[in-house]
Structure 1
Amino acid sequence: MEKFRDELKSWMKESGKSRDWVAEKLGVGKRTVDSWFSYKQIPEKKQKLLRELMEKEQQPKQVEISMDFTPEQLEMIRQAAALRGETPGEWCERAIKALTAVSVALNDYHRVGGKGG
């Protein structure tokens, strides 16, 4: 029981979920959730629901993005994708992930005042 409670606490901290969020998802009051973290056991049915929520929340979210390309841009994407053995959609997904990583790195760089390491 303690193991699950610790696992839940850790997951909540990592995912930014509050006790209010847990209470709302399980249809109980926050005081009930507070008691689970203090002295009461979490009922088996609620543990099962919490595990399902934890698994669901850890799954990657699917997002659909729509963009307009000129015929020339689309052909460049097709050619670049073909060189890597990818579909144009796979190529675009990889490119967006790479650009996102660069954006995060630049934001981190600026947040620390533009100083390296």
Structure 2
Amino acid sequence: MLKAKDIKDWLKTIGKNREWLAEKTLVSKRSVDGWLSSGNPIPPAKLALIEKLMSGEEEIEFELPPDFEKQLRAMADEMHKNLEDMVSHILQVTARAHQKRKSEAPSQQFIPVEPLPAASSLNYSAPVIGNIAAGALTPGDNIPYQIKTERPVGKWEYVLQVEGKSMEPIIPDGSLVVMRKHTIPPIPKVGTIVEYNDERGVTLKKLGRKKNPETGKMDYVLHPLNPDFGDIEPMDGGKISGIYVETLDKWEKA
């Protein structure tokens, strides 16, 4: 398996620095420093991309549409993927297709593709600490159980099971979501998916703002993604206790 020392030796041989590698792998230099100096694990998708660079495969040129970044972010949001990993997967698939089309012109129109399945296995254990409603505010049931997943749960993260359809199709009923604990101000930015608690119960919604017709002020509201559901308002007297991180795509009960 490729090691950090192999990558450092290769960079020295070809006369390139870590900034160059960060640019080619679509990450920050800080991430590359973590891989090569701090021993942080290299994500499988990034490792595959580095191996392609080290093998001397030619770089691919393609013409990007004007709204490429907007399209890509929309795809990543819809599939609950990290933007950098999404780009890396797309580049890998495009590279394979490019090898089959060497007789064609080198500049190709970019066509979005489905991301490759994750290479990692279910090596991490995590508890599902309870339910969270995706509908009206309701008390959260405590039904803890253990799962195996392909990503570790961070220090301030926890996993909840979604009950309800108000966040569909992005977050389906029955999904397991990773949340990050939120205990201090400021209030998250509008558009963030949050866990909200008050005396009525707990719910998962997108944070929004709406003009109060009585006061004329902009009030915070809880907005569902499913148009069949209405806003929960006013958002008053409760607290935001968690921030949505991602939906677990691959997991199994331990």
TM-score by length of 2: 0.21
Higher helix share: 1
Higher RCO (Cα < 8 Å, 6 or more apart): 2
